[in-house]
Amino acid sequence: AQTVTQSQPEMSVQEAETVTLSCTYDTSESNYYLFWYKQPPSRQMILVIRQEAYKQQNATENRFSVNFQKAAKSFSLKISDSQLGDTAMYFCAFQAAGNKLTFGGGTRVLVKP
Amino acid sequence: DAGVIQSPRHEVTEMGQEVTLRCKPISGHDYLFWYRQTMMRGLELLIYFNNNVPIDDSGMPEDRFSAKMPNASFSTLKIQPSEPRDSAVYFCASSHQLNTEAFFGQGTRLTVV
């Protein structure tokens, strides 16, 4: 079974600064996908970024980027130029090809003005 | 498309009562997922459907839980009888393919007293 670990329960960052969230996973699969989802206080789960394991290039989406280290089974999320609207829970998720999503426990991010 | 629509948004019920949660997935999406979110256990996949057929229900906690998808535009998650430990936020999500972005509804917050 796959497991996803987010070791930081909570992080705070000043507006306009950068914060990095860590995520590690355990799998024996070679073909899989990794995701970061954001859950703001409104409760809606929103996809932030997606990475295919076979791609070496790190995915980026505007101010969000990942550092994907396949050998280390690490998938961290960097939020640059943090904005107040980035305050939310962030969930890392793993999905083997043809299989279901497994979520980590989440990291609460608080952006301070 | 209006996105994944769940109803009700909040439900308060007494222990022993039957509860039915409803979901309308995004049109054209072949996959539908039911998740449960609690503080203790995080986000758990309960069951998912492909083309209205249940594929994996290994996450359904016990026989009190049942899910149906009578057609491509509607699914229900039923709990009978409900218990206080069922209190959680229940999310429905849909996706076009299994490894593509899952779009989540806004969730139903269930409180069983």
Interface contact B98-A99, CB threshold 8 A: yes
Q: Which pLDDT score is estimated for A6?
A: 97
For the stretch A31-71, pLDDT in tens is: 899 999 999 998 889 999 999 999 889 999 999 999 999 99
Q: Which pLDDT score is estimated for B84?
A: 97
Q: Which pLDDT score is estimated for B48?
A: 95
Of the candidates B46, B36, B45, the residue with the CA atom closest to the CA atom of residue B108: B36
pLDDT grade for A18, boundaries at 50, 70 and 90 = very high
Q: Which pLDDT score is estimated for B10?
A: 97
Distance CA A81, CA A10 (A): 18
Model confidence at A28: pLDDT above 70: yes
Q: Which pLDDT score is estimated for B1?
A: 65
Q: Which of A50, A98, A103 sits opposite B101 (nearest CB)?
A: A50
- Give the mean pLDDT of A15-41: 95
Q: In what order do the strands lie in the sheet with B5-7?
A: B5-7, B19-24, B74-79, B65-71
Query: Which token pair is A10?
Result: 């909570």
Of the candidates B100, B103, B5, B88, the residue with the CA atom closest to the CA atom of residue B42: B88
Question: Within 10 A of A99 (CB to CB), how many other CB atoms are there?
Answer: 17
Distances, alpha carbon A68 to alpha carbons A15, A19, A47, in Å: 25, 16, 17
Residues of A in contact with B95 (CB under 8 A): none
Question: Within 10 A of B111 (CB to CB), how many other CB atoms are there?
Answer: 13
Spatial contact of A105 and A6, defined as CB atoms under 8 Å apart: yes
Looking only at the bridges linking them, the beta strands covering B19-24 and A46-52 are unpaired
Query: Minimal Cα–Cα distance from A97 to chain B, Å?
Result: 7
Q: Which of A33, A43, A100 sits opposite B48 (nearest CB)?
A: A100
pLDDT per residue, tens digit, chain B (113 aa), is: 679 999 999 999 999 999 999 999 999 999 999 999 998 889 999 999 999 999 999 999 889 999 999 999 999 999 999 999 999 999 999 999 887 889 999 999 999 99
Residues of B in contact with A50 (CB under 8 A): 101
